């Protein structure tokens, strides 16, 4: 029997590899919540420092150019901002006073105090590497204390949650991903529902009864019922309301408050979802 | 030395895929690991095509965060088929290369989505794959991706021809002998 030549062996190599890949795919498809694959960890551990350096360089260059452009009209803008600062200072003083009253009332009613969570700043080093997934990659990982399901936010609102963690990076599923869900409620009426991602950078607040009065522009906050996002974080504002008199539920389109599609810096709330007690998540 | 250059090319393609999508939104339509696989598959060596498809495909899955093995499967298969066809037919001229990229991109998208559907069934089309909610939308996505990949290959293949100029010349001579003499 003659030995197979390299050319003749190729179909057998191909068949073996394809079979191996079918088994690999089947394993990872059956265990979608398993830890990050070893290959992904190796590659991303190597790539993250490079991506971080590139991001730093690009932000320096764009920041420099942007800073120069911003110099034009800076004086007029400065006067406007001074006036706005005074308004906001007064507003803040009133808010501080109200918060003190609120805390005093909570203490008198013996309501549990709401915990403050530590935050960790992170840079977005990559996003949506392919057409099929709406994900961000940040330059913080398990070595910084990040764990799966930790909420990710900006100063203006939530961005998403950590779905996979490597030693020096983490993958964040954004709230506009169709796969994502957030327990949420309307800030004024306190009606609770669920936020789901839409294709166009918007979200939909589902399961709100059509009898609930809702106004465009109303703020939507997290309800805490999903045991991932602590209660009271801003999700977005009601942008559009589609009323169908025959439907039992409102169709509410929300514009996320955080710039999910172009966010560059985020902070991770160091919340372990196991630590979110029922009292903390459902108490008003 | 040649294998090292090929390995570095794959690593560079994966790194660019990771970085550029952060700054250029349209880059999501471009699949650099696929283009690298097609380029080396056109060198008429099925074993090289399989190796490049294996590395760039699984590397692509690792970078994008998808199910490991899906892109590996599609790129190994596409690479092998292109290599086998390129042995039988001359695919060396630029127009033929562009046609190969367009077909490879379309086949890659169909296989990728098909495999996800097979693995996670009907819920995938509406959830994991947000751009594919109906057949018309799917056809449009396939078309745009093929167009983006083909346009990018025009520049990428010229750059790779320069990097691998020696091999490119040897290959051209071999094809000339095989098909035209």
Q: Is there a contact between B104 and B49 (Cβ–Cβ < 8 Å)?
A: no
Per-residue DSSP letter, B67: -
Q: Do A126 and B80 touch (CB under 8 A)?
A: no
The radius of gyration of chain A's CA atoms, rounded to the nearest angstrom, is 24
Touching B: A residues 149-188, CB under 8 Å: 164, 171, 177-179
- From A138, which residue of chain B is nearest by alpha-carbon distance? B22
Question: Mean pLDDT for each consecutive 10-residue tract of chain A (284 residues)?
Answer: 65 91 84 71 87 86 76 83 92 90 82 76 86 85 90 92 89 86 89 85 87 87 88 91 79 91 89 63 44
State the best of A11, A13, A14 to mutate against chain B, taking most chain B CBs within 10 Å: A14
pLDDT of residue A1: 47
> Chain B residues with CB inside 8 Å of A28's CB?
67-69
DSSP A125-162: EEE-SSTT--EEEES--GGGT--TT-EEE-SSSEEEEE
Structure token digits, residue A145: 């204390």
Q: Do A132 and B129 touch (CB under 8 A)?
A: yes
Structure token digits, residue B93: 């001229």
> Chain B residues with CB inside 8 Å of A26's CB?
119
Q: Do B21 and A128 touch (CB under 8 A)?
A: yes
State the best of A20, A33, A132 to mutate against chain B, taking most chain B CBs within 10 Å: A132
B47, B76, B127 member nearest A18 (Cβ): B76
- From A131, which residue of chain B is nearest by alpha-carbon distance? B28
Distance from the A168 Cα atom to the nearest Cα atom in chain B, whole angstroms: 14
Q: Do B46 and A14 touch (CB under 8 A)?
A: yes
pLDDT of residue A208: 87
- Give the Cα separation of A142 and B105 in Å (integer): 36
- Scored b (16 or more CB within 10 A) or e, A69-78 reads eeeeeeeeee
Angle, CA A94 vertex, CA A91 and CA A95 arms, to 5°:
85
Residues 6 or more apart from B7 whose CB is under 8 A from it? B55
- CATH number 2.130.10.10 is the correct assignment for the domain at A181-256: no
For residue B11, the enclosing domain spans 2-22+29-180
Encode chain B (181 residues) as per-residue pLDDT tens digits: 788 999 999 999 999 998 888 888 888 899 999 999 999 999 888 999 999 999 999 999 888 877 888 999 999 999 999 999 998 888 888 899 999 999 999 999 999 988 888 886 445 444 445 555 677 778 888 999 999 999 999 999 999 999 888 776 676 666 666 666 6
Backbone angles phi, psi at A195, to 5 degrees: -95, 130
Q: Do B130 and A177 touch (CB under 8 A)?
A: yes
- Give the Cα separation of B97 and B42 in Å (integer): 8
The structural domain count of chain B equals 1
Backbone angles phi, psi at B135, to 5 degrees: -65, -35
Structure token digits, residue B7: 């390995």
Number of inter-chain CB pairs under 8 A, A vs B: 135
- From B47, which residue of chain A is nearest by alpha-carbon distance? A10
- From B120, which residue of chain A is nearest by alpha-carbon distance? A29
Residues in chain A: 284
Q: Do B68 and A47 touch (CB under 8 A)?
A: no
Distance from the B26 Cα atom to the nearest Cα atom in chain A, whole angstroms: 9
Place of tokens 């190994």: B76
CATH of the domain at B124: 1.10.1760
- Give the Cα separation of A6 and A81 in Å (integer): 73
Q: What is the ipTM of this complex?
A: 0.81
- Give the Cα separation of B21 and A28 in Å (integer): 25
pLDDT of residue A103: 82
- Give the Cα separation of A98 and A158 in Å (integer): 25
- Helices (H) and strands (E) counted in chain B, each on its own, are 8, 0
Q: Do A40 and B130 touch (CB under 8 A)?
A: no
């Amino acid at each position: 029997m003659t030995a197979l030549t390299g050319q003749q062996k190729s179909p057998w190599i191909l068949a073996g590899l394809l079979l191996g890949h079918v088994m690999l795919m089947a394993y990872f498809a059956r265990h979608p919540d398993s830890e990050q694959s070893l290959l992904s960890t190796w590659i991303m551990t190597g790539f993250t420092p490079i991506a971080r350096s590139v991001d730093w360089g690009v932000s320096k260059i764009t920041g420099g150019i942007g800073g120069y452009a911003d110099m034009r009209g800076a004086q007029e803008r400065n006067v406007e901002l001074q006036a706005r600062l005074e308004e906001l200072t007064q507003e803040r003083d009133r808010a501080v006073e109200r918060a003190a009253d609120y805390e005093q009332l909570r203490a008198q009613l013996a309501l549990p105090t709401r915990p403050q969570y530590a935050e960790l700043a992170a840079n977005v080093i990559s996003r949506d590497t392919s057409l099929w997934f709406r994900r961000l990659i940040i330059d913080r990982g398990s070595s910084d204390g990040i764990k799966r399901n930790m909420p990710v936010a900006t100063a203006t609102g939530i961005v998403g949650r950590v779905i996979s963690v490597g030693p020096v990076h983490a993958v964040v599923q954004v709230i506009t991903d169709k796969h994502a869900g957030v327990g949420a409620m309307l800030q004024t009426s306190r009606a609770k529902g669920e936020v789901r991602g839409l294709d166009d950078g918007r979200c939909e607040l589902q399961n709100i009864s059509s009898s609930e009065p809702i106004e465009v522009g109303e703020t939507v906050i997290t309800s805490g019922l999903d045991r991932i996002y602590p209660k009271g974080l801003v999700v977005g504002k009601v942008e559009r309301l589609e009323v169908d008199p025959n439907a039992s539920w409102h169709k509410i389109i929300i514009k996320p408050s955080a710039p999910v599609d172009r966010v560059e810096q985020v902070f991770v709330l160091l919340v372990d979802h196991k630590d979110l007690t029922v009292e903390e998540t459902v108490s008003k | 030395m040649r294998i090292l250059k090929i390995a570095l090319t794959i690593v560079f393609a994966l790194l660019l895929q990771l970085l550029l999508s952060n700054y250029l939104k349209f880059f999501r339509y471009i699949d650099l690991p696929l283009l690298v696989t097609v380029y080396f598959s056109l060198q008429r060596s099925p074993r090289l095509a399989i190796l490049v498809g294996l590395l760039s495909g699984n590397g692509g899955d690792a970078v994008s965060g998808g199910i490991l093995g899906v892109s590996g499967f599609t790129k190994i298969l596409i690479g092998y088929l292109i290599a086998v066809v390129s042995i039988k037919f001359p695919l060396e001229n630029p127009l033929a290369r562009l046609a190969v990229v367009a077909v490879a991109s379309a086949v890659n998208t169909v296989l990728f989505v098909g495999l996800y559907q097979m693995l996670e069934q009907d819920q995938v089309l509406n959830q994991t794959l947000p751009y594919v909610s109906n057949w018309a939308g799917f056809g449009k996505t396939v078309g745009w991706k093929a167009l983006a990949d083909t346009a990018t290959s025009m520049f990428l293949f010229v750059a790779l021809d320069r990097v691998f100029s020696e091999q490119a010349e040897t290959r051209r001579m071999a094809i000339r002998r095989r098909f035209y003499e």
